[in-house]
Structure 1
Amino acid sequence: MHSKNNKAQGTDGALRRHQTMIAWGFSLPFIVIFGLFMLLPLLSALYMSFTDITARDLRTPFNVNFVGLQQYAALFKDPLFRHSLVVTGIFVIIGVPLTLVVAMALAVALNKGLRHVNSFFRAIFYAPVVASVVAVSVVWRYILQGDGLLNNLLGAIGIHGPNWLNDTHVALFALIIMTVWRNVGTSMIIFIAGLQSVNPELEEAASIDGCNAWKRFFHITLPLLKPTILLSLVLVSVAYLQFFDESFVMTQGGPLDATLSASYYIYKKFGFGQYGMSSAASWVLFLIIALVSALQFRIMRSDK
């Protein structure tokens, strides 16, 4: 009897080991690619942030000096870096809520009604997401220039529009509007999926009890969409904290650094060959993104 049990246990153990080896075999390509193209660059950037490596040290990268936290100290003493963090913060604080509100409004509007009409408008609003960000930025640059389409339309009704991309007061807000227009489609699709998962019987019961549409939305639908809102909030926040393409293509960080984002600052430092400083700035931005995401999860987590 014992020998049969031992044999059965041995067979089960061999089967589990075999399944484990197969699982690791399927996972190995991803592990190798992740290690080479994600983990190794991350660790290399972390190492470089504690050194004084520059473009002159590329031929002898192991002969650089270890400087500890000096790069981080110099980074926060740089007023341009602090300014880039402020610009990025304004971009996120204005852009994220605006994107979510517009996406929610579109999702509610397109959740019910004629199926084919809704599908058409969903495709229209989602189209900017799949378009090339560089191509979109170029088109918007021509729309927003001093004699562009927007100012011509405003002039037709007697309004003198500013030079949107060359005015330090409005350049960042012009980029925010363009970015919201481009990214609202993703959140809209996420919210539509969330709305379709809400049990309609709950709204019917509330309607019978005398709740109007606004009360049903704010007291029933919106609380049930909390996980969906959290997902969209985190995705949009992470994307906006890293905004670069719009600034690079449309304004090159100008005018007078009015649209200089943290990512664009990192790019410029890297272009100047200051790899240690650039790596330190990259890790600061990474930590900010991680902290913001953790805070959002903590605030928006579902009540148990």
Structure 2
Amino acid sequence: MNKQKYFPYLFLAPALILFALFTVYPIIASLILSFQRMEQGEYVFVGLANYARLFNDSIFTSALTNTFIIFIFQVPIMIFLALILATALNNQLLKLKGFFRVSFFLPAVTSLVAYSILFSIMLQDEGLFNNILNMVGLSSIPWLSDPFWAKFSIIMAMTWRWTGYNMVIFLAALQNLSTDVYEAADIDGAGKIRQFFYITIPQLKPVILFVAILSTIGTLQLFDEPFNLTGGGPGNSTMTLGLYIYESGFEYFDFGYASAIAYTVVVLVAILAFVQFKLTEEKK
């Protein structure tokens, strides 16, 4: 009879072994690697040298700055648009709700590489976007060759892809909210805009926090868009932390330094998540 209590662990063993092999081991190994450097074909322990090197690395500084610029602008815009769309699609009077929900969610299931290449084609000097601008009498914009517009292009592409994904999360939360509060607000004469800011957003605060943390993690790991759209250029103006980790590890084979950058990103995510928790914490 005592042996039977171990049976559940036998069923869990395959998943636990795979988790340990492909998740736990790489995390520990990369952490150890961040304190090492390749010298004469062998990894040697160098302490905090890889982390100290970050402070004198101008490319890392550019990557950190670019990542935070994209984060500061893209995440709030995307969350706000997702909230607006979710609120609009939750309206009982709206026709063809299923069609609109699927349409806005479709970008989220598009291949990252495919949609990045599609945007790179549309953003070329003679691409779709500039053709539309020329048709209405405006000058062409150097979307991918100007530092400002290159960042703007990445923000625009990310917003197009991820707004619908977050919209679905907000929509699921909205459908679980009680309608009594909205009915009372209608009786008191509160308009839809006031209801949105004073009823919907406060009630969705935990969900907004969840989406904000997910978006923060995704932005600090940003790789596909700058890699496929700009390659980190022009002049490292769109170099991100994720792209720099890739270049350090798989182009220059400096895996110890790449691991140090990766764990710096982990620390930044933890700090930003803590700040977001504090900012949305209920005051007693």
Normalising by structure 2, report the TM-score. Answer: 0.94
How much does 1:116 deviate?
A: 5.7
Look up the match of 2:14.
29
Contact kept? 1:243, 1:261, Cα under 8 Å: yes
- The residue type paired with residue 112 of structure 1 is N
Look up the match of 1:187.
166
Q: Which has the larger radius of gyration?
A: 1
Look up the match of 1:296.
276
Look up the match of 1:151.
130
- The residue type paired with residue 287 of structure 1 is V
Could you give the per-residue CA deviations for residues 245-268 of structure 1, whole angstroms, max 9, x where no partner exists?
Answer: 011111111111111000111111
Q: Which runs of 5+ in 2 are unaligned?
A: none
**1:53 counterpart SS class:** strand
Quote the Cα distance in structure 2 between the aligned partners of 1:22 and 1:222.
47
Quote the Cα distance in structure 1 between the aligned partners of 2:274 and 2:15.
26
Of the three residues 214, 228, 238, the one matched with 1:249 is: 228
Q: Report how many residues are paired.
A: 283
How much does 1:115 deviate?
A: 6.4
Contact kept? 1:227, 1:302, Cα under 8 Å: no
Quote the Cα distance in structure 2 between the aligned partners of 1:25 and 1:77.
51
Contact kept? 1:87, 1:258, Cα under 8 Å: yes
Q: Percent identity?
A: 36
The answer as to 2:27 corresponding to 1:47 is no
Of the three residues 155, 161, 168, the one matched with 1:176 is: 155
- The residue type paired with residue 137 of structure 1 is S
Quote the Cα distance in structure 1 between the aligned partners of 2:196 and 2:167.
16
Of the three residues 174, 177, 190, the one matched with 1:211 is: 190
Change in 2 beyond 3 A, CA 1:227/1:249: same
Look up the match of 2:238.
259
Look up the match of 1:18.
4
The answer as to 2:102 corresponding to 1:102 is no
- The residue type paired with residue 51 of structure 1 is Q
The answer as to 2:64 corresponding to 1:85 is yes
- The residue type paired with residue 118 of structure 2 is V
Quote the Cα distance in structure 2 between the aligned partners of 1:175 and 1:190.
23
**2:253 counterpart SS class:** coil
Instruction: Please identify which structure carries the higher helix content.
Output: 1
Of stretches 206-215 and 163-172 in structure 1, the one that deviates more from structure 2 is: 206-215
**1:92 counterpart SS class:** helix
How much does 1:152 deviate?
A: 0.4
**1:141 counterpart SS class:** helix
Quote the Cα distance in structure 1 between the aligned partners of 2:180 and 2:213.
30
Contact kept? 1:251, 1:259, Cα under 8 Å: yes
- The residue type paired with residue 18 of structure 1 is Q
Contact kept? 1:91, 1:240, Cα under 8 Å: yes
Q: Which runs of 5+ in 1 are unaligned?
A: 1-10, 58-62
* Structural mapping, 1:269-288, within 5 Å: 269-270=248-249, 271-288=251-268
Quote the Cα distance in structure 2 between the aligned partners of 1:72 and 1:45.
14
Of stretches 27-36 and 276-285 in structure 1, the one that deviates more from structure 2 is: 27-36
